[in-house]
Every structure is written in structure tokens, then in C-alpha cells.
Amino acid sequence: MQWRGRRGSSNVEDRRGMGRAGGIGIAGTLVVLAVGYFFGIDVSPLVQGMGQEQQGEVELTERDEEWGQFVSVVLADTEEIWQPVLQDQAGLAYQDPTLVLFRGVVQSACGGASSAMGPFYCPGDQRVYLDTDFFDMMAERMGAGGDFAAAYVIAHEVGHHVQNLTGVLGEVNAARGSLPEAEANLVSVATELQADCYAGIWARHAQERFGTLDVGDLDEAMRAAAAVGDDVIQANAGRTPVPDSFTHGSGAQRQEWLMRGFDSGDMRECDTFGAGIL
């Protein structure tokens, strides 16, 4: 992926050097362990010390700094792509989100969260939250390394921001609370697959505008999409995949919708809610 030496975004808030603001307690630790077990991730390094307050600055490594620069460039690309695309295709003005880099645990308008939960978007403060150690974990434990695989993760979370701006995310969150679990899971799957499709739209337009992609970059993104499929995650955790429990879609579905966005570059092709998924 061609990213070095390019403009970075000013909408990055780096909290990685701040240390943890405080412990998350026994209940929070149990939640982290449960999430880690479900995703097949060894979260013991994250859990150690979570019950204690930690203050003071944490020195960032050269690797940390490089990831920070990378994230800033990718976020800038999403800003430059979605500003015209959202206006042209949906008649809406794009509002830049803020991306928060953190380590360990973080507080957001959506509550406290741990690195073990992976990257997430909070509509309450229009921020994407990301621990860059997740990218190393993707490479080392999920077989989904590479800079464009990491860019796909960022673009997916920005896709949720686009959903927030179009009103889809608010409608989904309001509806899920009144639905039976199986139906609520299907709505969640449609929501996640649409964000994958939007990530594909970003990749298509970024390639056309900036010449971002190197040979093999799409393969990296496709491996990452498959690796975070519910069926793959459950199987890697030693569980038999249960489709009714899926909340993000299978690996094949995630790949399909990522490529649908990339091939079309058109938001109208990302109607996961009307595509027979529900």
C-alpha cells in the first residue's frame, strides 16, 4: 500500500502515551476474559494489572510511532474519499470522525472498553477507537497481516460512521432492543456487512484517486475479512460455528460484500438489509 510521505489527518487523538486511567474492576475483567475467549484471543497480557490504577506517561516505541503515522494517513484518505462520495451518492455532507488511539482500556461516550474487544465505533461521540496492537495480533494470530489489511479495519469502522450519518445506525440500534435474539443478530450481521461494503467503496475510490494499491493488497484485505468472520472466529476458539449466533457475518459473506463495494464504488450496491440476509 502506498502511504508513506502522504498527508495525515488532524483528527487523530493519541492516548497511547497516557497509560491507563484506572482499573476496570473484577466485573470488567470477567467481561474482557469472556470476549477474549469468544474471539479466540489470549487476553492474559491485557488482564494483568487491570484491577490497579496506573498513572504516568508510557513511552511509545518506533513501531508505535509508525502505526500512528499509518493510521493518520488512512484516516485522511477516508476523509478525502467520503466527502465527495457521500454528497454525490446520498446528498449528505460528510462530517469527519475522530480516531482515538489507545492502549489497554479506554473510556468513550459508549462506556468503557478493552483492547480485547477490538476496534469499535461509538456513535455517541462520533469516534473510532483503536489499539494498534490489534494489527500485530491480526498478523501473528489470525494470518491476516499487511498494511492494507489494517487499512480495511480502519475503513470498516469509518463505514459505521457513514451509517451513523445516513441514519442507518440509529435505526438499527433502536430496533435491535425490541427484536428476538436471532432476529437482532441478523440485523447486526446486515449492519456489519454494509460497513464492509463501504470499506470496499473507499478502497475503490482511493485506488482511482491516489493509486493506493500495490499488487496483493486486495488479497490482504480479503484474508482479513475472512479472518474476522464469525464462523472462523468460533472455529478458532474451538467451537462449532452456530449461524444463528453470528453478529458480523461469515468470512465468505464479509469477503463478498467487501468486493461488492470495491467492484461498484456505489453505495446503492451496499443494501445488505434488502439483499435477502434478513
Q: Is residue 278 part of a domain?
A: no
Q: Cα–Cα distance between 121 and 164 in angstroms, integer?
A: 10
pLDDT at 60: 86
Strands 98-101 and 12-14: parallel
Tell me: the pLDDT tens digits for 109-143? 988 888 878 899 999 999 999 998 989 888 888 88
Count the helix, strand and coil residues of the chain and give each as a percent rounded to the nearest 5.
60, 10, 35
* Residue 46 belongs to some domain of the structure: yes
pTM for the whole thing?
0.85
Band of pLDDT at residue 5, cut at 50, 70 and 90: confident
pLDDT tens-place string over residues 22-39: 444 433 433 333 333 333
Radius of gyration of the chain (CA): 18
Say if 4 falls within a structural domain. no
pLDDT one-digit tens code per residue, 82-104? 999 999 999 999 999 999 999 88
Q: How many Å apart are CA 140 and CA 142, to the nearest integer?
A: 6
If one counts the domains in the chain, the total is 1
The residue segments making up the domain with residue 244 are 12-269
